[in-house]
């Protein structure tokens, strides 16, 4: 296994790991701010998978230059730029709703929030 393919596969393993850890955190944590953190972790993992899917071996970044002959796919990177911004917006809203809910129930514990029980 060459260094490049090791990097390639370790990237997607990291990304999938982030998604799984984030999902596990969302499902099992009790503090609503930790759930928000786990959610952003999963979000980052999804973004990493998208960027990874546009990667092609032995190509440069999609910025045209006289010395550049071939480049990776710019489309997933543009998509991830959008995804990051939406992720920030959703995370900001998540935290605020969490603060509001914890003020109402007197604690950040989701088990005490009747509306959030599962």
Partner 1 sequence: MIRTYVGLIIVLALGAIVVSSLSNYSVPLELGSTGHNYTQRGVDDTGSVNLVTAVVVAYRGLDTLGEVVVLFSASTAVVLILTLIPMGANPTPSSSIVSFTAGVLPGAIVLFGIYIISHGHLSPGGGFPGGAVVASAFLLIMLGSNTIPGQSRLLASIESLAGLTFGLLGFWGMMTLGQFLNNKVLPVGSPGKLLSAGIIPLISLVIGAKVASELSGVFASYRKAGGEK
Between CA 17 and CA 86 the distance in angstroms is: 22
CB of 23 or CB of 113, closer to partner 1: 23
Between CA 98 and CA 105 the distance in angstroms is: 11
CA torsion, points 72, 75, 77, 81, in degrees to nearest 10? 160
Are the beta carbons of 45 and 19 closer than 8 angstroms?
yes
Between CA 51 and CA 11 the distance in angstroms is: 10
Is residue 6 close enough to count as binding partner 1 by CB under 8 A?
Answer: no
Binding mask 26-55 for partner 1 (x = CB under 8 A): -xx-------------------------x-
Is residue 103 close enough to count as binding partner 1 by CB under 8 A?
Answer: yes
Is residue 16 close enough to count as binding partner 1 by CB under 8 A?
Answer: yes
> Which residues would be at the binding site for partner 1 (CB under 8 A)?
5, 8, 12, 16, 19-20, 23-24, 27-28, 54, 56-57, 61-65, 71, 73-75, 77-78, 81-82, 84-86, 88-90, 92-93, 96-97, 99-100, 103
């Amino acid at each position: 296994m060459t260094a490049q393919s090791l990097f390639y596969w370790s990237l997607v393993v990291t990304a999938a790991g982030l998604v799984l850890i984030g999902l596990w955190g969302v499902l099992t944590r009790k503090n609503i701010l930790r759930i928000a953190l786990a959610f952003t972790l999963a979000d980052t993992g999804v973004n990493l998978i998208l960027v990874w899917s546009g990667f092609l071996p032995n190509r440069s970044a999609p910025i045209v230059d006289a010395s550049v002959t071939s480049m990776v796919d710019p489309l997933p990177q543009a998509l991830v730029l959008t995804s990051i911004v939406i992720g920030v917006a959703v995370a900001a809203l998540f935290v605020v709703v969490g603060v509001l809910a914890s003020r109402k129930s007197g604690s950040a514990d989701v088990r005490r929030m009747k509306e959030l029980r599962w």
